[in-house]
Amino acid sequence: MRDTRESRLLLVLLIAIAFALITVDIRAGEESPVDGARQAAAAAFGPVEEGVATAVDPVANAIGAVRDSGERHNRIATLERENAALKAKLGSDDQTRSRIHELDEMLKRAGAGQYGIKGAEVIAIGAAQGFSWTVTIDAGSKDGIERDMTVLNGEGLVGRVSTVGPDTATVVLANDPDFTVGTRLEKTGELGFATGQGDRALSVQMLNGKAKVSPGDRLVTFGSRGNKPFVPGVPIGEVVKVDPSRGDLTRTVWVRPFVGFSRLDIVGVVVMPPREDPRDAVLPPKPEVKPTPTVTVTVTPSPSASVPAKPADE
């Protein structure tokens, strides 16, 4: 359409008519005279709008699917994190139960021997202090720890305190080659001296060369004067080998320590010695060995078959 004076007048006239119809429609409300025209337009253009919506819906659904996919990814990531946290918690619970068991066993040993102990945790292991077999614990002079105190756990003798700081202390383990402790054999009371052999069994020199010792016999600490560095009655280990006696004044036996030195965690430092020697009371009861039933087989002889007589020659 050309931009002429007539076209401009027509445009202004159409705009005026549109405003007039809008004004009449608003003022009339539900009884609007243009309501019929509106319905006719809806009937005419409704199918077109529905077709357009049908064409557009797959696109909208695809967009929604992509959005939902992101949400599902986030939910999966959240579930994976929760699963990892649960596994870590379960592992932590297992460790906690293990440490509670260690602490319970140590308290049983301390109670049986009437030892006053200060609990501590092993925080370092190694030869940093110049010893071959040592650990560092998180208790020191502030906790009443002193040099040459006995250290034990729920299994038996761990070692002795060698150096003490305000908050930590160094413990020389019983399997250190420079470690020596007086021993006493269970029941018989035969005395000896145990020396550490690293990751091998302890070497024990029995003072009586004719002492009767057998594999399976157990030893405890004999104790020291003033209970330092060792209090009496702490379990040491079990005899696994006895060297043959050659008539010497001493006799060597080999003892497997009760304590696993490579897996130390919770230990107790004896800060108060027992009032009297507990002797063998700290040793756990030996498991009862059930006798192997003996099977007796009785053989009953069967009557021999009769041999027919040889016929006589005619």
**Residue appearing with tokens 């230990």:** 267
Assign residue 171 the CATH number of its domain: 2.40.10.340
The answer to whether position 90 is within a domain reads: no
The reported pLDDT for the residue numbered 17 is: 73
pLDDT at 27 over 90: no
The answer to whether position 294 is within a domain reads: no
- Between the ranges 12-26, 149-163, 203-217, where is the mean pLDDT highest? 149-163
The answer to whether position 48 is within a domain reads: no
Q: What is the mean pLDDT of the chain?
A: 79
The answer to whether position 206 is within a domain reads: yes
- Between the ranges 62-71, 230-239, 246-255, where is the mean pLDDT highest? 230-239
Range of the domain at 237: 107-272
Structural domains counted in the chain: 1
The answer to whether position 211 is within a domain reads: yes
More confident of the two residues 41 and 31: 31
The reported pLDDT for the residue numbered 286 is: 80
The answer to whether position 195 is within a domain reads: yes
The answer to whether position 37 is within a domain reads: no
More confident of the two residues 56 and 68: 68
The answer to whether position 279 is within a domain reads: no
Of 66-70, 148-152, 291-295, which gets the smallest average pLDDT?
66-70
pLDDT at 230 over 70: yes
The reported pLDDT for the residue numbered 58 is: 52
